[in-house]
Amino acid sequence: MSAEAFFQQLKHPNPHLRDRAMWEIAEHRDETTIPRLMGILAEDDTTYRRAAVKALGAIGPDTVPPLVEALLNSPNVTVRGSAAKALAQVVINYPDIPLSSEGVRGLKTALNDPNPVVHIAAVMALGEMGVPAVDILIESLQTTDNPALSVSIVSALGSIGDRAD
């Protein structure tokens, strides 16, 4: 199948076919793959957008700079939230590779995003990082006046504590 066919398959209703397409795209990427996946983050089609998030996560650390750029600078809240979720996918898919300092700073900054979709996705991504993110989460917990963000942070810290045992 061609790269184009795999991109089309990211829209497929069958999650197994979407997952296969995602890994094929990640494995056979070229210089257009990451920008093209980044463009999908603005799509209204939730299935397609989520598949692009997962594909960016499957590609891994090379996606961090454009994801941080979108997370911090996109005027589109869906793109910012999707970028945070894709950073979480990078952490999940590459547990032995620490997220770059650029990625960590981006997520820390996104904790102050006015939109709950974005700051809660940033908390989720930091929670996936585990122990390296504890100080950032605690600092944010101590400085935020946003109750929903506080609850998300406490939950993330709890999940980190469960994994640290």
pLDDT, tens only, 76-119: 999 999 999 999 999 999 999 999 999 999 999 999 999 999 99
Count CB neighbours of 109 within 10 A: 13
84 token code pair:
């945070």
Q: How confident is the model at residue 161 (pLDDT cuts 50, 70, 90)?
A: confident
Burial class (CB in 10 A: 0-12, 13-18, 19+), 128: buried
- Distance CA(92)–CA(127), nearest Å, equals 10
> Residue-wise over 79-98: b if at least 16 C-beta within 10 A, else e?
bbbbbbbbbbbbbebeeeee
Percent of the chain at pLDDT > 90 equals: 86
Lowest mean pLDDT among 49-63, 91-105, 148-162: 148-162
The half-sphere exposure of 100 on its side-chain side, counting CA atoms within 13 A, is 14
CA distance 38 to 56: 8
* Domain locations along the chain: 3-164
State mean pLDDT over 30-43.
95
How far apart CA 142 and CA 117 sit, in angstroms, is 20
| Contact indicator for 10, 55 with CB cutoff of 8 Å | yes
Q: Are 102 and 64 in contact (CB under 8 A)?
A: yes
pLDDT of residue 64: 97
Alpha-carbon distance 35 to 140, whole Å? Answer: 31
pTM of the model: 0.90
- For residue range 113-138, what is the model confidence (pLDDT) as tens digits? 999 999 999 999 999 999 989 999 99
Query: Whole-angstrom Cα distance, residue 5 to residue 107?
Result: 33
pLDDT at 165 over 60: no
Domain 3-164 part of CATH 2.40.40.20: no
